[in-house]
Amino acid sequence: MNRRVVVTGLGVVAPNGVGLQKFEASIKAGTSGIRYFKQLEEMNFSCCIGGIPDVSEELKLKYLTPLQLRNFTSSGILYACMAGIDAWHDAGFSYAEDEAHWDSGCIFGTGISGVEKMREATYKLDSGKVKRLGSNSVAQTMSSGVSAYLGGIIGLGNQVTTNSSACATGTEAILLAYDRVISGKAEKMIAGSSSEHGPFIWGGFDAMKVMTYKHNKSPTKGSRPMSASASGFVPGSGSGALVLESLDSAMTRNAPIYAEILGGAVNSGGQRNGGTMTAANNVAVQRCIKDAMENADILADEIDLINGHLTATIKDPTEIQNWVTALGREGKNFPYIHSLKSMIGHCLSASGAIESLAAVLGLKNDFIFPNINCENLHPDISALIDERKIPRTVIYSKDIDIVAKASFGFGDVNACVIFKKYNNG
Amino acid sequence: MDKTMDKNTIIEGLKEIAKPYIQDQEAFDNLTEDTNFVDDLKINSANLVDIILDVEDKFDIVIEDKEMEDMMTVRSTIAIINKKLDNK
């Protein structure tokens, strides 16, 4: 019998909710996690708003030891550990004792680790004080810091690695972990991604003028995916983690199942045909969606809901056009579509994981979270799809069976994963 | 003028510095001049460089690579700290 892969654990650290319960309540209510940051204004940012998870010093100590937290400034690694550990416990697992969990690993992505640490180190190096870097500079700045910390805390003994594909990172991590489980190389994989916060991560995007500067006095209104008045994305941060497990393993231990992963696809547009470092090759995006459906063995008509990439830039209508073309569905026949970024901003390398987690939660608990800040739908979008396909308030429905989640990243890279409600069979 | 410090004062300072890194509480509670940082206190050897940095800060001295290699026990560490203080 063919192997199947299900999701049995979730953990989330998001700007509008740390922990599964708070996060679920927030996304049902349409609660924004976007705030104004004085520091950004003082540093001359055009966009002075963003999303940062609310994590107290006390909460950190539930995940990392005082020694680990000594001189620790890598928020991305912290978020990854919190989300990953929560997901692992949520799935009903515990830390390994002496022997590592040989059948369990993690693929936990990030765009970059330890920017604050790197900055400290640069000042020390430039003044000839290399010795002052101490012992934890490497662990906090290596790209694989996120998976290395998490793997060590839990005691993972299978593959422990970090992937990186810009804003497609989280969705790609899920598909890489899915491959690992479906091929039988692992029974359980923690899949997720993380993104740090702050000026040293967000500055480059501010310089590119892709973030909105129009909502510094109205932060919660700033992230406006699909809206006619969308004016650029709002930066976010945090982490999402999903425990992927073979259905056999989950059934053997009677584990509650959130959803099934039917498959998906990753590709690149090769920065050809209109694709560049920063813009997508539309043919590649459409191929990725079609390949995902083929891999998942579903028809376009079976998709009930799209959890879009939809960042609130001028590219949103283009994304909708790509979905319309790839699915061969438009107007009233188009599935529901929404963007979590309306509430938490664009969490960059963490976005794919947090947004996938939201998709899985919705499937499990029969709701479609609202797409806020879209009172005035962009005319190029309303020309393509029925306005009612974009939920502005939460919809409770048991009829959502299949969700397609896609993420697109710098470097012209794409990832699309297909989730299905699990109905005990 | 003798700039060296009383042995017990240095030991108290070292204990304060080592505390976050130790993984054997009993050995720490019974710390003597013979105590070895790695063998007895089970400090991760990677953290020894952090301890050296803290020692430099606390006693306002600079420790060379060669001296660092010798600072494996409380006794040798006291000796090096006092040598450094005396030469200031």
pLDDT tens column, A165-213: 999 999 999 999 999 999 999 999 999 999 999 999 999 999 999 999 9
Q: Which residues contact A109 (CB under 8 A, 6 or more apart)?
A: A146, A162, A163, A164, A165, A169, A170, A172, A173, A192, A193, A194, A349, A353
> Minimal Cα distance from A70: which residue of B?
B20
Task: Report chain B residues whose CB lies below 8 A from the CB of A134.
Answer: 49-50, 53
How does pLDDT run across B22-80, given as a tens digit for each residue?
999 999 999 999 999 999 999 999 999 999 999 999 999 999 999 999 999 999 999 99
Q: Determine contact, residues A129/A213, Cβ cutoff 8 Å.
A: no
Can you tell me whether residue A321 is helix, strand or coil?
helix
> Minimal Cα distance from B51: which residue of A?
A134
For the domain that residue B74 is a member of, what is the CATH number? 1.10.1200.10
Domain assignment present for B57: yes
Q: How near does any CA of chain B get to the CA of A66, in Å?
A: 7
CA distance A177 to A321: 30
Q: Residues of chain B with pLDDT > 70: what percent?
A: 99
**Assigned token pair, A35:** 């705030």
CA distance B51 to B28: 15
Q: Which of A113, A97, A72 lies closest to A154, judged by CA?
A: A97
Mutation for testing the B interface, residue in A64, A67, A132 having most B CBs under 10 Å? A67
Domain assignment present for B86: no
| Cross-chain residue pair B49–A134, CB shorter than 8 Å | yes
Write phi, then psi, for A225 (nearest 5 degrees).
-55, 140
| Cross-chain residue pair A134–B46, CB shorter than 8 Å | no
Put simply, whether A129 touches B (Cβ < 8 Å) is no
Domain assignment present for B2: no
Domain assignment present for B1: no
Domain assignment present for B53: yes
The tally of domains found in chain B comes to 1
Among the listed ranges A68-72, A191-195, A215-219, A356-360, which one has the minimum average pLDDT value? A68-72
pTM of the predicted structure, to 2 decimals: 0.96
Task: Report chain A residues whose CB lies below 8 A from the CB of B46.
Answer: 135
The confidence score (pLDDT) of residue A360 equals 98
> Minimal Cα distance from A67: which residue of B?
B20
Whether the pLDDT of residue A121 is over 60: the answer is yes
Structural domains of chain A, ranges and CATH numbers in brackets: 5-252 (3.40.47.10), 264-420 (3.40.47.10)
> Minimal Cα distance from B68: which residue of A?
A131
Parallel, antiparallel or unpaired: strands A367-368 and A413-420: unpaired
Please give the distance of CA A365 from its chain centroid, rounded to a whole number. 19
Mean pLDDT of all residues in A407-424: 96
With bands split at pLDDT 50, 70 and 90, how would you rate the model's confidence at A1? Answer: low
Count of CB contacts below 8 A, A vs B?
Answer: 19
The confidence score (pLDDT) of residue B3 equals 83
The confidence score (pLDDT) of residue A118 equals 96
Q: Determine contact, residues A410/A277, Cβ cutoff 8 Å.
A: yes
Helix (H) or strand (E) holding A84: helix A75-90
The confidence score (pLDDT) of residue A219 equals 98
* Domain region containing B60: 7-81
Whether the pLDDT of residue A424 is over 90: the answer is no
Nearest to B20 among A66, A131, A132 (CB): A66
Put simply, whether A134 touches B (Cβ < 8 Å) is yes
How does pLDDT run across A130-143, given as a tens digit for each residue?
999 999 999 999 99
The confidence score (pLDDT) of residue A23 equals 98
Put simply, whether B53 touches A (Cβ < 8 Å) is yes
The confidence score (pLDDT) of residue A339 equals 98
For the purposes of burial, counting CB atoms within 10 Å of the CB of A94, is it exposed (0-12), middle (13-18) or buried (19 or more)? exposed
Alpha helices in B1-88 (DSSP H): 7-18, 25-29, 48-59, 65-70, 74-86
Parallel, antiparallel or unpaired: strands A305-307 and A336-338: parallel
With bands split at pLDDT 50, 70 and 90, how would you rate the model's confidence at A120? Answer: very high
Residue type, A253: R
| Cross-chain residue pair A135–B50, CB shorter than 8 Å | yes
Domain assignment present for B37: yes
Mean per-residue pLDDT of chain A: 97
A100-116 burial, b at 16+ Cβ within 10 Å, e below that, comes to bbebbbbbbbbbbbbbb
| Cross-chain residue pair A136–B50, CB shorter than 8 Å | yes
CA neighbours closer than 13 Å in the CB half-sphere of residue A261: 32
Sign of CA dihedral A90, A192, A180, A152: negative
How does pLDDT run across A278-322, given as a tens digit for each residue?
999 999 999 999 999 999 999 999 999 999 999 999 999 999 999
Q: How near does any CA of chain B get to the CA of A53, in Å?
A: 28
Q: Which residues contact B66 (CB under 8 A, 6 or more apart)?
A: none
